[in-house]
Chains A and B, each alone.
Chain A
Amino acid sequence: MSTLNLLIAISLGYVLLLFAVAFVAERAARQGRGSWLRAPIVYTLSLSIYCTAWTFYGAVGSAARSGLEYLTIYLGPTLVMIGWWWILRKLVRIGRSQHITSIADLLSSRYGKSNLLGIGVTILAVIGTTPYIALQLQSVTLSVEVFAVGAEETGPTQPLTAFWVATGLAVFTVIFGTRNLDVNERHHGVVMAIAVEAVVKLAALLAVGIFVVWGLSGGIGQTLERIDNSDLGLWQIDGGRWVGLTMLSAAAFLCLPRMFQVLVVENDNDAQLRTAAWAFPLYLLLMSLFIVPIAVVGLDILPEGSNPDLFVLTVPLSQGRDGLALFSFLGGLSSATSMVIVAAIALSTMVSNHVVMPIWLRVRQGMASQSGDVRHVVILSRRLSIGGVVLLGYLYYALSGGGEALATIGLVSFVGLAQVLPAMLGGIFWRGATRVGALAGLTVGFAVWHFTLFLPSFGEDMIIPAKVFESGFLGLSWLKPQALFGIEGLDPLMHAVLWSLSLNTVTFFAASLLSFPSPLERLQGAQFVNVRYAPGSARSWSGGVAEAEDLMVMAQRILGATEAQELFAQEAQRQGLGGHLPDPTPDFLESLERELSGSVGAATAHAMVGQIVGGMAVSVQDLMAVADETAQMMEYSARLEAQQGELTRTARQLRQANDKLTRLSVQKDGFLSQISHELRTPMTSIRAFSEILRDNTGMSEVDQIKYASIIHDEAVRLTRLLDDLLDLSVLENGQVNLNLNDTTLAELLDRSLASAMADGSGRAMTIVRTKAREKMSLHTDADRLTQVFINLIANARKYCDADTPRLEIRVSEIQGRHVVDFVDNGSGIAPEAQDVIFEKFARVSDQKAGGAGLGLAISREIMTRLGGEITYLPGQGGAAFRVVLPRPMALAAQ
């Protein structure tokens, strides 16, 4: 009893430690201090989720039952790591360059961003992984039970333990797996925690092994003798099964969703892979080193009939080594939890990107750019998916009741997921592979696996009636689940592997050869197969159709406002354009889509960009580029394309400059006539009414006063206009004297609002402020800055055409600068007018709103003098102006 309590206490402590590790790593990564998180050794350790509880406990069991066969499970990945290193490198490079988020995303993206394929692989992954999660829960429960022997609670605690373990894992995964919507979909906290768990499980297994060899057997020599004497040394090696199992585990290493997650998605650079190529096999070697001794000693000293799957725990316990047993328990717990966490992240990403998001997008067709916060939906759907995946695993465990030999369920899952292999390898090495081929191969493989292995694994008469095993499906003798086409005598597992994978592969190749790939498939195929030669140069968007502003709105909803604005501004700068919006060139659309796909998957990102751009077009040149087979041609065309891109960019810059000059010259021309108009209009009233007063004696006093006031008001208007002109000219000539003083932003905004809203004649407007962020102190010319704010607020009041006008004043920090955004909810400023509004006399609407059209021109001059900036901020829903506060004068909040 006390051992059990101690066990629970230690487990809780251990879990808290993992939370702390994950938290610290996450924070370090966010603050940019996380270079150690990308160390190759961390990456290598994270790969160790390959060794789940199945290998931790089950390998000894397997050794006790079938001798050295357990080695095949380690052999497969080792061979892949060493022999297929170049395949891994290619996968990892594709994953990085295409922002691949999961294995389903890889296939979907490769085969023309087909979501059907994404859904298919997702379903396969969920079906294949659920039993595996159940297995982990079972192993934890069983191992707890070992300690609970003798304690009063036995039966009912079982599902309860599993339930709490499942809940804890779901919580951990939700917290650290969906913390942010990273463009690269990397989870530093999780990876770090898993690396720690990898160390714990290795140390635990080694400790038990050392205890067994030196503590119980008395050294290496005697241990070897003991092995020779046991039955274990005598078991024959079944060559065929060995090769089969090795291949199977190699395939699973590449195809398991959780392995793909740590291997490809979390990968950061090639160096990580180079280290892992030798370090991971070494890890596996160490893991397998003491398996046989533990099995032999366990068989030797423990009573007949004790479960060999638990020797790792029961051997130390039987010797009274409770501490060692506890340590070993933690090792098992680590193996189980790390697998469930990563599997849940991988599966939730797939479910959310390929099932939930497409449905959500369809439901809100055409509205993705306008409504709802997509980030929120993505994160919520990830969280629900994580809960769902873990719950499925728990239900599977609770309903199946566990009990089966651990290794069997694992192998069944392996075979199921290995069905992805032909389409995956075919996709990255063979340009001829098509979507139809991939779908057909997967379907056939999946069906055969279901019929020959998955359903039979529940036992005869459980799902498939015994009669079918005897005489075949529908009485057809060549359709016996464990003897297809009349080939009998094979091990059922090998039988399933052989038939499912070979039929899958044959179908995949045949259907690929018979079908014709769509243009997008060809482009993606070229990018995947030639990942080294054509670093992201496939183009599937025809440019110029998309509205940059709509794209901005959408990107903000997915990537977050700051990130999206930075991305767009960078691109605009790269294109040599000022302002916040770049031209929607095909290149930009392509890279934007890749950024988005990091968050929502390739197919969804493609669909979202498609909604805005309005369908995609592949040009003849693009197809020609695809047809160019040799690397030289690819390189040559890439160079030409770069040159062409340069020219296009220059042309665009020139065109823009020319446009602007033309507009300015028209404006210069209009300037005189504008000034004339602005001066003559008030003068007309003044002259007319003064003549009326002069010529009409005997007018009533009321009329006299009325006409005199008009003259007065118009004279004031004239004066104001002249003041503005003078002000502008002074500012433009740089003769202005700044009157610097200390103040706070809040105070300036208060003053501005009071002044701008004082005039009771305008419409009521709701002002939204976040006073907490306005507390920063400023050292600047308060009157001038206030003048700018007043102008912006007054403009919003004049021009905001919403039914219930609302002005939001947002204060934030972007790239170390404090900015104040004034965003109203009106219809905003038309894109073509956005870069002239800061020019003199540029009034956007025809209706006279009382100003001379100099306010923004003056504001811009003021901000320049103050060392800040004022720009129009597109894509905010209404008119939005961004004031970047002067740098050296804006001090941090006190």
Chain B
Amino acid sequence: MPGSVLLIEDEPNIIEAISFILSRDGWRVDTHSNGIDAVDIVRQKAPDVLILDVMLPGRSGYDILRDLRDDPQTADLPVLMLTARGQAKDRELAERTGANQFMTKPFSNAEVLDAVRALSAA
């Protein structure tokens, strides 16, 4: 039973693609495209799953995630991180910061779908 997803990403075409995939699967998708007030938006929308890009205008995805983990309200929020940088240290950093899943662009649509389903079920 699909719930709600918040997608924080700044590349309009990628927003469109992910929204399309998830909506077709029955998810309610909210989107936001800058890093500065991302934390507030997360608190306000209280999604079931958060998809968070690393390179965001204004603030990096890692910083946002750190804030979310420090806040009891969002400490357990399932987070899928996306990055266009494929290096191992990026993955490590994501895990240290507290991402539940990490995915390197480009990804296959099925992968994203599976990941979101898995995160919401956990």
Question: Which residues of chain A have a CB within 8 Å of any CB of chain B?
Answer: 672-673, 676-678, 680-681, 683-689, 691-692, 695-696, 710, 714, 846-848
Q: B87 near A692 (CB under 8 angstroms)?
A: no
**Which B residues lie within 8 Å of A691 (CB)?**
108-110
Query: Which B residue sits closest to A694, measured CB to CB?
Result: B109
- 28 example contacts (A-B, Cβ-Cβ < 8 A) are as follows A673-B90, A676-B84, A677-B55, A677-B85, A678-B84, A680-B104, A681-B11, A681-B84, A681-B105, A683-B105, A684-B11, A684-B106, A684-B107, A685-B17, A687-B108, A688-B14, A688-B21, A689-B17, A691-B108, A691-B109, A691-B110, A692-B21, A692-B109, A695-B109, A710-B16, A714-B13, A846-B57, A848-B57
Q: Residue B10 contacts which of A678, A687, A848 (CB distance < 8 angstroms)?
A: A848
Q: Looking across the interface, which residue of chain A has its beta carbon closest to that of B86?
A: A676
CB proximity of A700 to chain B, nearest CB, Å? 13
User: Which residues in B have their C-beta under 8 angstroms from that of A686?
Assistant: 106
Evaluate contact between A687 and B107: CB separation under 8 angstroms: yes
Is B72 on the interface with A (CB-CB < 8 A)? no
With CB as the reference atom, state the residue of chain A lying closest to B105.
A684
Contact partner, B84, options A680, A688, A692, A714, Cβ 8 Å: A680
New contact pairs (4) apart from A688-B106, A691-B110, CB-CB < 8 Å: A678-B84, A684-B105, A685-B17, A689-B17
Question: How far is it, in angstroms, between the C-alpha of A672 and the C-alpha of B89 when the chains are bound?
Answer: 13
Instruction: Report chain A residues within 8 Å CB of B84.
Output: 676-678, 680-681, 684
The CA of A688 and the CA of B105, in the complex, are separated in Å by 10
B115 at interface by CB-CB < 8 Å: no
Which residue of chain A has the shortest Cβ distance to B90 in the bound complex? A673
With A and B bound together, what is the CA distance between A683 and B55 in angstroms?
A: 16
Residues of A within 8 A of B18 (CB): 688
With both chains docked as a complex, state the minimum distance between the C-beta of B119 and any C-beta of chain A, in angstroms: 19
Q: List A contacts of B106 (CB < 8 A).
A: 680, 683-684, 686-688
Question: Within the complex, what minimum Cβ distance (angstroms) separates B110 from chain A?
Answer: 8
B86-112 to A contact mask, C-beta < 8 Å, 1/0: 110010000000000000111111100
* Closest residue on chain B to residue A711 by CB atoms: B13
Closest 7 pairs between A and B when the two form their complex, measured CB to CB: A688-B17, A685-B13, A684-B105, A680-B84, A684-B106, A677-B84, A687-B106
Distance in Å: Cβ of A752 to nearest Cβ of chain B: 29
Task: Write the nearest CB–CB distance from B106 to chain A, whole angstroms.
Answer: 4
Q: Which residues of A contact B107 (CB under 8 A)?
A: 684, 687-688
Chain B interface size band reads 20 to 34
With A684-B84, A687-B106 known as contacts, the answer to whether A847 contacts B21 (CB < 8 A) is no
Cross-chain contact A681 with B108 (CB below 8 angstroms) = no
Q: Indicate with 1 or 0, residue by residue over B7-24, a CB within 8 angstroms of chain A CB atoms.
A: 000110110111011001
The reply to whether A680 and B105 contact each other, CB–CB distance below 8 Å, is: yes
A688 to B90, CA, bound (A): 22
| B58 partner residues in chain A, CB cutoff 8 A | 846
Q: Which residue of B lies closest to A689 (CB)?
A: B17
Interface core residue of B10, B24, B57, B85 (most chain A CB under 10 Å): B85
Most buried by B among A673, A677, A688, A847: A688
Considering the chains assembled together, what is the distance between the CA atoms of A76 and B45 in angstroms? 95
A688-B14, A688-B18 are contacts. A673–B108 as well, Cβ < 8 Å?
Answer: no
A681 to B13, CA, bound (A): 9
Which residue in chain A gives the minimum CB-CB distance to B89? A673
A692 to chain B: which residues have CB within 8 Å? 17, 20-21, 109
Please judge, given known A-B contacts A676-B84, A676-B86, whether A685 and B57 are in contact too, CB under 8 Å.
no
Shortest distance from the beta carbon of B23 to any chain A beta carbon, whole Å: 11
Q: Which residues of B lie under 8 Å from residue A685 when comparing CB positions?
A: 11, 13-14, 17
- In whole Å, how far is B51's beta carbon from the nearest beta carbon of chain A? 13
> Which of B10, B24, B86 meets A696, CB within 8 Å?
B24
Does A688 lie within 8 Å of B55, measured CB to CB?
no
How many angstroms from the CA of A681 to the CA of B104 in the assembled complex? Answer: 10
Q: Which chain B residues lie closer than 8 Å to A687 at the CB level? A: 106-108
Complex CA gap A683/B86 in Å reads: 13
Residues of A within 8 A of B14 (CB): 681, 684-685, 688
**In this complex, what residue of A is CB-closest to B87?**
A673
Q: B17's closest neighbor in chain A, by CB? A: A688
* A689–B109 CA distance with the chains assembled, in angstroms: 9
Given A687-B107, A846-B57, CB of A676 within 8 Å of CB of B87: yes
Closest to A688 in B: B17
Chain B residue nearest to A710 (CB atoms) is B13
Whether B109 pairs with A676 at a CB distance below 8 angstroms is: no
* A314 shortest CB reach to chain B, Å: 91
Q: Could you tell me if B85 and A673 are in contact, using CB atoms closer than 8 angstroms? A: yes
Which residues from chain B contact A676 at a C-beta distance below 8 Å?
84-87
Residues of B within 8 A of A673 (CB): 85, 87, 90
B39 to chain A, nearest CB (A): 17
- Chain A residues contacting B10 (CB-CB under 8 Å) are 848
A695 and B106 alpha carbons, distance in the complex (Å): 17
Given the complex, which residues of A lie within 8 Å of B20, measured CB to CB? 692
Chain A residues whose C-beta falls within 8 Å of the C-beta of B16 in the assembled complex:
710
A672 to B, closest residue via Cβ: B87
CA–CA, A764 and B13, complex, Å: 26
Chain B's nearest CB lies how many Å from the CB of A737? 35
Cα A691 to Cα B18 in complex, Å, equals: 12
- Give the residue name and chain of the A residue nearest to B18 (CB): A688
What is the CB-to-nearest-CB distance from A695 to chain B, in angstroms, rounded to a whole number?
A: 7
Contact A688 to B87, CB < 8 A, known contacts A681-B14, A847-B57: no
Query: Which B residues lie within 8 Å of A846 (CB)?
Result: 57-58
CA gap between A847 and B11 in the complex, in Å: 11
Of all chain A residues, which has the CB nearest B11? A681
Shortest distance from the beta carbon of B65 to any chain A beta carbon, whole Å: 18
Nearest CB of A to B10, in Å: 7
